[in-house]
Structure 1
Amino acid sequence: MKRRNFITLLSAGSGSMLLTQPLQGSEIFANSNKNQRLSDGFSADVVIAGGGMGGCATALAACRNGLKVVMTEETDWIGGQVSQQGVPPDEHPWIETHGAPASYRDFRNRVREYYKRNYPLTADARKRENLNPGDGAVSRLCHEPKVAVAVLLEMLHPYMSSGKLIVLTEHKIKKADVTGEKVKAIEAVNLKNNQTIVLEATYFVDATECGDLLPLTGTEYVTGTESKSQTGELHAPEKGNPKDNQAFTLCFAMDYQHGANNIIDRPEDYTFWSNYVPDMYPPWPGKLLDLKYSSPQTLEPKELGFHPEGVRTGDVLNLWNYRRIINKNNFGPGTYTGDITIVNWPQNDYLLGDIIDVSEKEFKKHIEAARQLSLSLFYWLQTEAPRPDGGLGWPGLRLRSDVMGTSDGMAKYPYIRESRRIKAEFTILEEHVGAENRKLVVGEEAGKKAAEFFDSIGTGYYHIDLHPSSQGDNYIDFGSLPFQIPLGALLPQRMNNLLPANKNIGTTHITNGCYRLHPVEWSIGEVVGSLIAFATKKKTLPRAVRENRSLLEEFQGWIRTQGMETHWPE
């Protein structure tokens, strides 16, 4: 059958209705729950599954370089971990000036400008160049999830309006049509009306949170932990386990009303969760719902503090301030009655099951259990959390469903730390980026820098941070070095027109711990969009760009002109 380079709608039965006029850009975004037929004249060069940070960056780069793109998103919000999952950016200390693409810093600056344009900031906050709306401890830019959605749409809208980009929200990829090493089409199901659309293109990008396209397309991948004999990594276990993935978290938003009684109904599974002691090695220091947890670096018991009015809690971290997205003191009097914070803490990491490579029924079961855990944590904070005055509970705490865009204040989608990972042309190992392992391999002096990759197409930095796992491993957390992103880690060993753009690149379980953060995911996505455009122009395959040193150097030079960094400054 002759391959068509456009998008068609599969018949949904006798009740289906086809729109005879093609919808354009933002109209499609706004009306993506409708049964649509897109005109045969629309040429889709790239189909992106997943509208998170990597997916949006892929779309921006591909559209900027003249390609026509369709991007699907499972929820009704684009932005992934920064929006639908409710996780303020985890970044490195130099993010304001280098160590990420210019477009990522543009996104961050637009977030700040959004607040300066639309919010009644105090004079002091308004004049701050590097405004942090929440002054959260975790990041130099803690902000509301909805603002991330608004800014990303603002960045994408020129391409949506011109018809270069179609965004289909609330669409999940269910099937793929593959011949040999080539994906021909994928089938997306509209989650609101169960109708299906077949998406055909020259290239396909897996920017989903769990690497969903990999099994659907037969792309080779790995999951969980590799053994020390497989990778030689210093911190790898003696025996690998494909089911041993990091915990995921269903985050939630809350504020505090002093003197109010906002206590919710006792959650259905509260008895279980309030008594639950994680079964792991090395041991967890007691119940999960407590202000004590395992120090990620030493695994010794570590105290945390909690006070919803932001006051100091002695020498220990006040969890309220950790992921605070609104500091009321940055805004005019009366704008906010209190701060708003996001709860992504050790206490609501879900440990009782894996959601990678399970049935949809099993997936939903664990998500619901994670919801019960987060609700139970919130109820515990309201009723049983110890207060500095010796009392128990903060009844004025209030779930903020409006902040998360849900009915219950929980995030729209779980925060996924670990995905399926492609079997890549090149796999990043701990010896390339781990501070201790690198010194053992190349010596003390050379080990002060991460590995230099000849095919570097990006930079990033974060310590290697692995949360407790679904198979009972406690934290693995240790130092890394400012690293490069090698192009080989973005190339599947066999498939020619499928590329990863999320946490599904060629890392190991260990190195995933520093390549999974917001700016790195964005960097990966932007390079993927650019690589597709470059390969299309050169009439070659993405893997050939890496194999041909002349082409590779031309590509690296070209992406640098577009604001991408391939090396850290000396």
Structure 2
Amino acid sequence: MKNALKTLFFLLLALRLSAQDHVFVETESFENKGGWVIDQQSFVVIGSSYLMAHGMGRPVKDATTTVSFPKKGKYQIWVRTKDWAPFPKGPGKFQVVLDGKPLNPVFGESGSDAWKWYNGGEIDVKTDQLKLALHDLSGFNGRCDAILFTNIPKFTPPDKPADLTAFRNKLLNLSDKPAEAGNFDLVVVGGGIAGTCAAISAARMGLKVALIQDRPVLGGNNSSEVRVHLRGDVDKNHYPKLGRIVREMDNGDPGNGHPDAQEYGDARKTAIVKGERNITLYLNTHVYKIEKKGSAISAVIGRDIATNKEVRFTGTYFSDCTGDGTLGYLAGADYRFGRESKAETGESLAAEKSDDFTLGTSNLWASLDRDTATTFPETPWALPFSDEYHIDEARSDWQWETGFGNYNTITDAEKIRDHNLRAIYGNWSYLKNHKKDKYAKRELAWVAYIGGKRESRRLLGDYVLNQMDIQEGKQYSDGTVTATWTIDLHFPDAQNSKHFEGQEFFAGTKHIKVAPYTIPYRCMYSKNIPNLFMAGRNISTTHVAFGSTRVMRTCGMMGEVVGFAAYVAKKYNTSPRGVYQEHLPEFMAIIKDEPTAAKP
């Protein structure tokens, strides 16, 4: 009751604020981002995207915009930011500049890693407009969420998440009805390899499809923002039809963390999707809210990560290809997070006791040779490296990974990424300043600021794939995707644990071979949300089986299967479960590419 009253108070206060002509600026909506980048990865925690100065140690160009004031007078300024590496003070320093004049406080070095509003002082507005800029001072990931100009004396904006969300939404007029995108046969949320393949597959079967991605590019972990290469085979299928769309998405094998963004084929992926007349593509759109009719999803609402404009998508069927199981979670789908116990699953590789341990998140990086020596500063705020322990690499691979149960891969996404950055910058600073013979002429050329996740929620279907299924190569009547990747479950590297116990960022693994096996279709729809499909790493498996199913070529083939299933479901006006129970022969005939298979 007390919390409800507080929320009501801030709603009423927000109404007062809008009437008092106060000005609220979301930094991600700046007209010119300069060298700053939009980060939406922690939207589920802070309720917003923000701008970040990701310069890899070199200050980035100012982000600028024009702020209009409905009336002149004195305004108190509040800046929402944090010190992301307070050891004791971090490097993310920046200034807020108004009409070329910096405010007195330097932000981002408070010694607190909590998002908070900081007092920026008072200004006297004498014109209708002011030029507002964010001026980076270090290039080391300073960040700013929002700036508030208020003419209410002694007013402090709210910091608690629920209060701040109500406050923010009102001042951005987000309580109004969102724009309508239209009605679709299939709404695919998540534009990684799985989601992109699902959208293309369904569209080519004649369905009207919306593909929604929360970043400016498609491909997810295989995009230029993350740079993980594709794994899993598409040429060992029991059903060779599966994998054809995956091959279209495949831009070759540049390895992990290649310094050339073009190696990952962002433009190719987007061009293929835009070439499909039945797909409507929405990039930069974060789905954070749903509507239901009974137990089924009726609509999803997405917010543009830059403009904050909201769009509503209605549909007959929905597919969760978010990796995090976000759509299923919002809809109340049954899911698992972490490891099951041996007693629960009977798996020899399962944990003795169930827990929240998950595989971690990687932020890859690369350096390049230069003609002359370059410098990199000492980083006292980063992880400490020494002659005894450092990682002697000029380019990262998959092992640079944080998680392992020490962090929640969803709610701690920002902390995980920041921990990875402290490891990358700290190690690189050591190499540059203590191994000059080898690294003097090398320069840090690229560091991912978008995390490449491996594991979070797994949505439960009518069947949960397990270790025995994949090691024994069991063949079920609804076996579809042929998977070939090993059981690949990561754990902290022993040496890394010795030097950074509880704060590991480097992984090891043991590859346990499997015979090619098929993944049942029943793993690709929700057991309790009647119109929800899923494809990708969040399908219905145990943690152990997930170690094999999670790689992207395999996930892409799951997407192809979902597209076929959605076609059969629409044809007979049935549910994803109904496809299995009532129309399995026809569905499997499509997957087998039999001449008698139904065609759109």
TM-score by length of 2: 0.62
- For residues 476 and 549 of structure 2, the distance between their equivalents in structure 1, rounded to whole angstroms, comes to 15
Deviation per CA, 1:498-536, whole angstroms, max 9, x where unpaired?
111220101111111110111111011111122111110
Correspondence for 1:465 among 485, 488, 492: 488
Secondary structure at 1:203 match in 2: strand
Contact 1:88 1:142 (8 Å CA) reproduced:
no
> 1:426: how far off?
0.6
Letter of the structure 1 residue corresponding to residue 525 of structure 2:
L
- For residues 478 and 143 of structure 1, the distance between their equivalents in structure 2, rounded to whole angstroms, comes to 32
CA 1:107–1:346 in 2, change beyond 3 Å: closer, same or farther? Answer: closer
Q: How does 1:387-536 map to 2 (within 5 A)?
A: 393-400=438-445, 409-434=446-471, 438=472, 450-468=473-491, 475-536=509-570
CA 1:420–1:392 in 2, change beyond 3 Å: closer, same or farther? Answer: farther
Give 1 or 2 for the bigger CA radius of gyration: 2
Q: Does 1:56 align with 2:196?
A: yes
Contact 1:178 1:184 (8 Å CA) reproduced:
yes
Deviation per CA, 1:336-388, whole angstroms, max 9, x where unpaired?
xxxxxxx2342454558423452xxx432322222222233333443446xxx
- For residues 386 and 345 of structure 2, the distance between their equivalents in structure 1, rounded to whole angstroms, comes to 38
Q: How does 1:255-404 map to 2 (within 5 A)?
A: 255-257=368-370, 259-267=371-379, 269-270=381-382, 272-274=383-385, 287=389, 289-290=390-391, 306=393, 343-349=396-402, 353-358=406-411, 362-384=412-434, 393-400=438-445
Letter of the structure 2 residue corresponding to residue 50 of structure 1:
G
CA 1:92–1:61 in 2, change beyond 3 Å: closer, same or farther? Answer: closer
Contact 2:193 2:249 (8 Å CA) reproduced:
no
Q: Does 1:196 align with 2:336?
A: no
Deviation per CA, 1:257-305, whole angstroms, max 9, x where unpaired?
3x532333334533x34269xxxxxxxxx84x335xxxxxxxxxxxxxx
Contact 2:273 2:281 (8 Å CA) reproduced:
no
Secondary structure at 1:556 match in 2: helix
Q: Does 1:181 align with 2:282?
A: no
- For residues 545 and 287 of structure 2, the distance between their equivalents in structure 1, rounded to whole angstroms, comes to 28
Specify the alignment match of 2:574 in structure 1.
540
CA 1:380–1:507 in 2, change beyond 3 Å: closer, same or farther? Answer: farther
Specify the alignment match of 1:557 in structure 2.
589
Deviation per CA, 1:64-102, whole angstroms, max 9, x where unpaired?
111122222121111011113210122349579969512
Specify the alignment match of 1:153 in structure 2.
270
CA RMSD, Structure 1 to Structure 2 (Å): 3.6
- For residues 44 and 427 of structure 1, the distance between their equivalents in structure 2, rounded to whole angstroms, comes to 29
Specify the alignment match of 2:232 in structure 1.
91
> 1:392: how far off?
5.5
> 1:486: how far off?
0.8
CA 1:489–1:471 in 2, change beyond 3 Å: closer, same or farther? Answer: farther
Q: Does 1:250 align with 2:360?
A: no
Secondary structure at 1:399 match in 2: strand
Correspondence for 1:217 among 309, 325, 331: 331
Letter of the structure 2 residue corresponding to residue 252 of structure 1:
W
CA 1:256–1:456 in 2, change beyond 3 Å: closer, same or farther? Answer: same
Letter of the structure 2 residue corresponding to residue 394 of structure 1:
Y
CA 1:352–1:488 in 2, change beyond 3 Å: closer, same or farther? Answer: closer
Letter of the structure 2 residue corresponding to residue 240 of structure 1:
S
Contact 1:348 1:377 (8 Å CA) reproduced:
no
> 1:210: how far off?
1.5
- For residues 183 and 585 of structure 2, the distance between their equivalents in structure 1, rounded to whole angstroms, comes to 30
Deviation per CA, 1:284-328, whole angstroms, max 9, x where unpaired?
xx84x335xxxxxxxxxxxxxx5x6xxxxxxxxxxx6xxxxxxxx
Specify the alignment match of 2:217 in structure 1.
77
Secondary structure at 1:458 match in 2: strand
- For residues 228 and 181 of structure 2, the distance between their equivalents in structure 1, rounded to whole angstroms, comes to 39
> 1:197: how far off?
1.6
- For residues 238 and 49 of structure 1, the distance between their equivalents in structure 2, rounded to whole angstroms, comes to 35
Letter of the structure 2 residue corresponding to residue 195 of structure 1:
K
Deviation per CA, 1:379-414, whole angstroms, max 9, x where unpaired?
3443446xxxxx7641222233xxxxxxxx222521
Secondary structure at 1:520 match in 2: helix
Specify the alignment match of 1:235 in structure 2.
349
Specify the alignment match of 1:282 in structure 2.
none
- For residues 215 and 358 of structure 2, the distance between their equivalents in structure 1, rounded to whole angstroms, comes to 23
Contact 2:409 2:453 (8 Å CA) reproduced:
no
Contact 2:363 2:400 (8 Å CA) reproduced:
no
- For residues 260 and 547 of structure 1, the distance between their equivalents in structure 2, rounded to whole angstroms, comes to 67
Contact 2:460 2:540 (8 Å CA) reproduced:
yes
Letter of the structure 2 residue corresponding to residue 180 of structure 1:
G
Q: Does 1:46 align with 2:96?
A: no
Contact 2:195 2:321 (8 Å CA) reproduced:
yes
Counting matched residue pairs gives 414
- For residues 412 and 527 of structure 1, the distance between their equivalents in structure 2, rounded to whole angstroms, comes to 32
Secondary structure at 1:185 match in 2: strand
> 1:193: how far off?
1.9
Question: Greater shift after overlay, 499-508 or 374-383?
Answer: 374-383
- For residues 210 and 264 of structure 1, the distance between their equivalents in structure 2, rounded to whole angstroms, comes to 36
> 1:173: how far off?
1.4
Contact 1:347 1:377 (8 Å CA) reproduced:
no
Letter of the structure 2 residue corresponding to residue 290 of structure 1:
I
> 1:244: how far off?
0.6
Contact 1:99 1:459 (8 Å CA) reproduced:
no
**Identity %, equivalent residues:** 22
Question: Greater shift after overlay, 461-470 or 98-107?
Answer: 98-107
Secondary structure at 2:443 match in 1: strand
Secondary structure at 2:275 match in 1: helix
Specify the alignment match of 1:26 in structure 2.
none
Contact 1:350 1:373 (8 Å CA) reproduced:
no
CA 1:218–1:207 in 2, change beyond 3 Å: closer, same or farther? Answer: same
TM-score by length of 1: 0.65
Secondary structure at 1:167 match in 2: strand
Contact 1:90 1:517 (8 Å CA) reproduced:
yes
> 1:107: how far off?
3.1
Q: Does 1:102 align with 2:244?
A: yes
CA 1:416–1:357 in 2, change beyond 3 Å: closer, same or farther? Answer: closer
Contact 2:368 2:443 (8 Å CA) reproduced:
yes
CA 1:380–1:522 in 2, change beyond 3 Å: closer, same or farther? Answer: farther
CA 1:231–1:471 in 2, change beyond 3 Å: closer, same or farther? Answer: farther
- For residues 466 and 184 of structure 1, the distance between their equivalents in structure 2, rounded to whole angstroms, comes to 36
